[in-house]
Amino acid sequence: MSRSAYAIASTAVGDLLAVQKSFDNTKAVLELLMKRLPKDSDAYAIAELGMMDVKEWESKVVDWCVMMDDELEEPALEAEHNAYAIQAHRRALLKHSNTTSVS
């Protein structure tokens, strides 16, 4: 089974959004830890570093999603237009064949 570049990119955007949800869950855990740990503890510092890392990657994922989504818009419209044009052409051929057929 081969998939179009549009289908692959569309799936990738969905996957990146799932990663984003995972980042949200990780941030929630780290925030909870940071609320409960003393600010001068090593564990708090590690949670803080984890939060900074997640936020950095979260920003990259958002940028990738936006960029890929923008790229998907033009091909999607073009594909939709092409599908409509093909359908209209088929209908025209069917009409033509119905009017020229011998009964």
Instruction: Measure the CA–CA gap between 23 and 11, rounded to whole angstroms.
Output: 19
How does residue 74 score in pLDDT terms, banded at 50, 70 and 90?
low
Instruction: Measure the CA–CA gap between 94 and 17, rounded to whole angstroms.
Output: 44
CA 60 to chain centre: 13
Instruction: Give the E-state strand segments of 1-103 in sequence order.
Output: none
Overall average pLDDT of the 73-87 stretch: 67
Q: What percent of the chain has pLDDT over 70?
A: 72
Overall average pLDDT of the 82-96 stretch: 68
Highest mean pLDDT among 55-59, 77-81, 90-94: 55-59
pLDDT (tens digit per residue) in 16-37:
888 888 999 999 999 999 999 9
In the chain, where are the structural domains located? 5-100
- In this structure, the number of other CB atoms found within 10 A of the CB of residue 96 comes to 10
Residue with tokens 């869950």: 25
Tell me if 54 sits within 8 A of 30, measured CB to CB. yes
Instruction: Measure the CA–CA gap between 71 and 13, rounded to whole angstroms.
Output: 11
